[in-house]
Amino acid sequence: MIRVKNPQDFWAGVLFLAVGSGGVWFGREYDIGVIMRMGPGYLPRVLSLALIGIGLLLALRALALAGPAIQRSLVRPQVFILAAIVVFALMIERFGLAPAVFVAAIVAAAASREMRWIEAAALAFALATGTIVLFIYLLGQSMEKWIF
């Protein structure tokens, strides 16, 4: 059985390999052209192939040379942070600024294990007010404060 001796490099290599392959696949219909007149597909193809090459190199080298382990990753904070951004994106147009900010702030606060509900609600309220003042009144952005 082959052992991965350098997990960071190995997975980075896999990532680059995947993106490079994606680039080749999705760019397969673009005209490559000739070197004198490069088509729109020329550089994307070259760069994708380069990524594949580097990815392979990294992944294979990681089987031979030892390297640092990947640091532990907590699931909770990452999920809640990403969820907060997505929630904001989905709410801003339908409900307006204040509700979107309020909910996003609470979801974000839940990313920390030290979260306290009352504190988070107070913070979310303050942020909703603060963003309205800053972005709508001070910066004059045309955003709806709230939509019912």
User: Least distance to another protein from the beta carbon of 44, Å?
Assistant: 5
- Alpha carbon separation from 5 to 55, 58, 67, 123 (Å, rounded): 16, 12, 6, 45
Measuring CA to CA, which residue among 73, 76, 147 is closest to residue 107?
76
Number of residues this chain uses to bind another protein (CB under 8 A)? 73
Q: Which of residues 90-129 bind another protein (CB under 8 A)?
A: 90, 92-93, 97, 101, 104-105, 108-109, 111-112, 114-115, 119-120, 123-124, 127
Length of the chain: 148
Using DSSP's 3-state secondary structure scheme, residue 37 falls into: coil
Interface pick for another protein out of 64, 68, 118, 148 (rule CB under 8 A):
68
Confirm if 95 and 147 have CB atoms less than 8 A apart: yes
What the block records as the tokens of 9 is 């490099």
Residue closer to another protein by CB (options 3, 72) is: 72
Instruction: Give me the residues paired with residue 33 across strands.
Output: 38
Cα 133 to Cα 141: distance, rounded to the nearest angstrom: 10
16 sits near another protein (criterion: CB under 8 A): yes
64 sits near another protein (criterion: CB under 8 A): no
Cα 121 to Cα 116: distance, rounded to the nearest angstrom: 9
Using DSSP's 3-state secondary structure scheme, residue 79 falls into: helix
Q: Which of residues 29-58 bind another protein (CB under 8 A)?
A: 30-31, 34-44, 47-48, 50-51, 54-55, 57-58
135 sits near another protein (criterion: CB under 8 A): yes
Interface pick for another protein out of 60, 66, 89, 133 (rule CB under 8 A):
89
12 sits near another protein (criterion: CB under 8 A): yes
Interface pick for another protein out of 5, 21, 32, 88 (rule CB under 8 A):
88
